[in-house]
Amino acid sequence: MYQALEFACVGLFGLVVPMLLVARVRSNVPWWFVIASATAVGWIFANASVFLKHAAIDEERMEELTCFADPDHGDKDVSVVRGNEIAINNPCELGDWIRDRYKPFVGLLYGPLYLLCCSLPYWLIVGRRRSLQSM
């Protein structure tokens, strides 16, 4: 569930910035508003994505802790390896509990950088069309 929500955050961010540029063309929204909105949207969706990733890690960690807390949980596979040595396969898997280091202010860069990437197609479509219409 969390992965789908993370994907939705990235997808919405990918749609919002071009929609801001479309709003700039249709409603003549000022550039400062487009830049500020792209920065805010990038920061919000970056932090939401990291929050969802950490929530997924926490949920996995809690499931593993409950599995280890209950020794009779699940079917344990007991097999004799050699002689009197016994190997017990535990059904509780160990996951990666280490969270990535994330600094929230880095999310402030995503919006303007993506806006800069979207500005080239914007200039090619809108700016060139206006210069061709004036000829």
pLDDT at 73 over 80: no
> Residue 6's domain spans which residues?
2-94+102-134
Helices 31-69/2-27 angle, 10° precision = 170
Q: Does the CA dihedral 103-104-108-114 come out positive or negative?
A: positive
Span 2-7, mean pLDDT?
A: 84
Listed residue (55, 56, 37, 39) closest to 112, CA to CA: 39
Contact by Cβ (8 Å): 27, 104: no
Element (H, E) at 2: helix 2-27
More confident residue, 124 or 73: 124
Output the pTM of the full model: 0.66
How many domains does the chain divide into?
1
Q: Supply the pLDDT for residue 36.
A: 92
The conformation of residue 87, written as its DSSP 8-state character, comes to: E
Q: Supply the pLDDT for residue 40.
A: 92
